[in-house]
Amino acid sequence: MYIDTHCHLYKEYYNNIDDVIRESIEEGVCKFIVNGCDMKSNKEAIEISHKYDNVYAAIGFHPTELDDFSDEYFDWLEDNINDEKVVAIGEIGLDYHYDNTNKEKEIYVFRKQLDIAKKYNKPIIVHSRDAIGDTYDILKEYNLRGSIHSYSGSIEMAREFTKLGYMLGIGGVVTFKNAKNVKEVVKDIDLSYILLETDSPYLTPEPYRGTPNSPKYIPYIAKAISDIKGININDVRGTTTGNAKRLFDNLND
| Residues binding Ni ion (CB under 5 A) | 91, 199
- Which residue has the closest beta carbon to Ni ion? 199
Judged by CB, which is closer to Ni ion: 106, or 199? 199
Judged by CB, which is closer to Ni ion: 129, or 229? 129
Q: How many CB atoms lie within 10 A of CB 149?
A: 27
Shortest separation between residue 100's beta carbon and Ni ion, angstroms: 21
Judged by CB, which is closer to Ni ion: 14, or 119? 14
Task: Return d(Cα 43, Cα 138) in angstroms, integer.
Answer: 27
Shortest separation between residue 45's beta carbon and Ni ion, angstroms: 11
H-type helices in the chain, by residue range? 17-26, 39-51, 72-80, 103-120, 132-141, 155-163, 180-188, 218-229, 233-247
Judged by CB, which is closer to Ni ion: 122, or 127? 127
Shortest separation between residue 199's beta carbon and Ni ion, angstroms: 5
Task: Return d(Cα 85, Cα 36) in angstroms, integer.
Answer: 13
Shortest separation between residue 90's beta carbon and Ni ion, angstroms: 8
Q: How many CB atoms lie within 10 A of CB 207?
A: 10
Task: Return d(Cα 217, Cα 221) in angstroms, integer.
Answer: 7
Judged by CB, which is closer to Ni ion: 43, or 229? 43
Judged by CB, which is closer to Ni ion: 69, or 227? 69
Shortest separation between residue 232's beta carbon and Ni ion, angstroms: 29
Using an 8 Å Cβ cutoff, are 200 and 7 in contact? yes
In the chain, the largest separation of any two C-alpha atoms, in whole Å, equals 49
b/e 82-100 (16+ beta carbons within 10 angstroms → b): eeebbbbbbbbbbbbeeee
Shortest separation between residue 231's beta carbon and Ni ion, angstroms: 27
DSSP 92-151: EEEE--STT--HHHHHHHHHHHHHHHHHHT--EEEEEES-HHHHHHHHHHS---EEETT-
Name the 3-class secondary structure at 160.
helix
Shortest separation between residue 15's beta carbon and Ni ion, angstroms: 20
